[in-house]
Amino acid sequence: MHIVILGNGVSGITAARFIRKQSDHAITVISGESDAFFSRTALMYIYMGHMRLEDTQPYEPFFWKKNRIDLKRAWIEGVDFEQKKLRSNSGEEITYDKLILALGSAPNKFGWPGQDLKRVGGLYTLQDLEQMEKGSKGLERAVIVGGGLIGIEMGEMFHSRNIPVTFLVREASYWNNVLPPEESDMVNRHIREHGFDLRLSTELKEIEDDGKGQACAVITNAGERIPCGYVGLTAGVHPNISFLQDTDLEMQKGILVDEYLQTNLPDVYAIGDCAQMREPKPGRKPIEAVWYTGRMMGETVAYTITGDPTSYDPGIWFNSAKFLDIEYQVYGDVQANAPDEHASLYWEHADGRKGIRLVYHRDQGHILGFNLMGIRYRHEVCERWLAQRTPIEEVLQNLGIANFDPEFYKQYEQDVVDQYNQQTGSSLRLRKKRSLRHALRFLSQSASN
């Protein structure tokens, strides 16, 4: 059986690796972007000079031949699902028995005049990085459109070369559709403290052409003209599926898949950023363009294709990133606009660069989520508490278990407990911090009681 995987990101390569572990089927991975898999989250470090492209590739060149995974460099322009053939831009036809679509994402564009000019682009592919590199020579100012995680990465990249950056963010506060108000405001302050020109409640109206097909300025919705030599489009992403629009594949925003990641067509599967769950698990979105969900989908579909049908279960939501030098972690259900049944305890350090938010059920009292800014908690501990629906007061008394930071760093669990006591009139006391091994044993015992 010949299995073709279209896309060599974390989803496609994970699928290839696990198919090989489970079978001797022929595997071909096709990508027009790069010769081999690389860590997409490390693109910024290539630009900043911290890494080379080869440093971002987890597998040595011999890995692919040793594991009998055929890598093919080609852009696919169309798929004949009935004949089970893919057509490349060179006219070559590639046949398959089973097809895995791991197509990834593409930056959002909203019909702005000038959005297709040179020196305008997102930050998703190697080609995007190459365009940024080329456009940075002699660059006097960049404008970044959008307030999210990709935007802040692009801003940090330009900032590393002392290139001034203006952010155009249509929302009233940075990433406030995801972050609660206090955390969003922390990010606003932090961006400005680093010397960025942050324009909130400001939208892009037009990108000006310099007469040579290149961006030279932007016009905002307020009519202001901001000269710039590069425009970063980071107002979100969408599934990269436009070339499949006129086929029998069922799609909405993404390619519709069932719990086994199978599409409406026989022997065709979709995983990663391009996949849209027909019936997502409670509390999860139909499309989740996140690294770890792509990896999980790749492993799941591999089992199904090799004869062990496995339902995709992403588990408890989590994510991590950074806003310049503030680390960010979220576990569970933390919403920007919390519903009435969600109660929240938020503590912020006096320096304005660290924050801890615990979200719990107002009536039932169990923990629902953790939001962390500038402080790290242990994934295993947070996930266990969330899965066990642990009461908020039990979480608070044992909060030291979750702390991930080295022992010589300042600890803030007592401050959080004190704030809860002040907020609720309780008199909780923090229990002694345990090692991770003892912490997990304690949690297991709590679950069995």
Condensed to tens digits (0 to 9), the pLDDT of residues 411-442 reads: 899 999 999 999 999 999 988 765 556 666 66
Name the residue among 124, 89, 129, 86 with its Cα closest to residue 105: 124
**CB 234, CB 148: distance < 8 Å:** yes
| Segments of the chain assigned to CATH 3.30.390.30 | 318-448
Q: How far apart are CA 105 and CA 111, in angstroms?
A: 18
> Quick one: CA torsion of 146, 149, 150, 153, rounded to 10 degrees?
110
Q: What is the pLDDT of residues 363-408, one digit of tens each?
A: 999 999 999 999 999 999 999 999 999 999 999 999 989 988 766 6
Region for 372 from its dihedrals, namely left if φ exceeds 0, alpha if ψ lies in -120 to 50, beta otherwise:
beta
CA-atom Rg of the chain in angstroms: 24
So what's the pLDDT on residue 411?
Answer: 83
By C-alpha distance, which of 311, 270, 310, 308 is closest to 98?
Answer: 270
Provide the pLDDT for residue 439: 62
Instruction: Give the max Cα distance, the chain.
Output: 73
Left, alpha or beta for 415 (phi > 0: left; psi -120 to 50: alpha)? alpha
Q: What is the per-residue pLDDT for 354?
A: 96
Q: At 171, list the tokens.
A: 């929302």
Q: What is the pTM of this model?
A: 0.92
Which CATH architecture best describes the domain 120-235?
3-Layer(bba) Sandwich (3.50)
Which DSSP letter does residue 377 get?
B
The answer to whether residues 357 and 334 touch, using CB atoms and an 8 Å cutoff, is: yes
Domain spanning 2-106+238-305, CATH class = alpha beta
* Residues above pLDDT 70, as percent of the chain: 95
Residues 267-317 pLDDT 10s: 999 999 999 999 999 889 999 999 999 999 999 999 999 999 999 999 999
10-residue mean pLDDT profile of the chain (449 residues): values are 97 98 98 94 95 95 97 96 96 97 95 96 94 96 95 97 98 96 98 97 98 97 97 95 96 98 98 97 93 97 97 96 96 96 97 97 97 94 96 95 76 92 92 64 59
Distances (CA, A) of 429 to 221, 395, 399: 53, 11, 10
Assess contact for 5 and 301: CB atoms under 8 A: no
pLDDT the model gives residue 410: 78
Task: Give domain 318-448's CATH number out of 3.40.50.720, 3.30.540.10, 3.30.390.30, 3.40.50.300.
Answer: 3.30.390.30
| Residue extent(s) of CATH 3.50.50.60 domains in the chain | 2-106+238-305, 120-235
pLDDT of residue 218: 98
What was the pLDDT predicted at 271?
98
Distances (CA, A) of 328 to 200, 333, 335, 356, 426: 21, 15, 15, 10, 29
Q: Would you list the DSSP string of 33-75?
A: S-SS---GGGHHHHHTTS--GGGG-SS-THHHHHTTEEEEE--
CB 123 within 8 A of CB 237: no
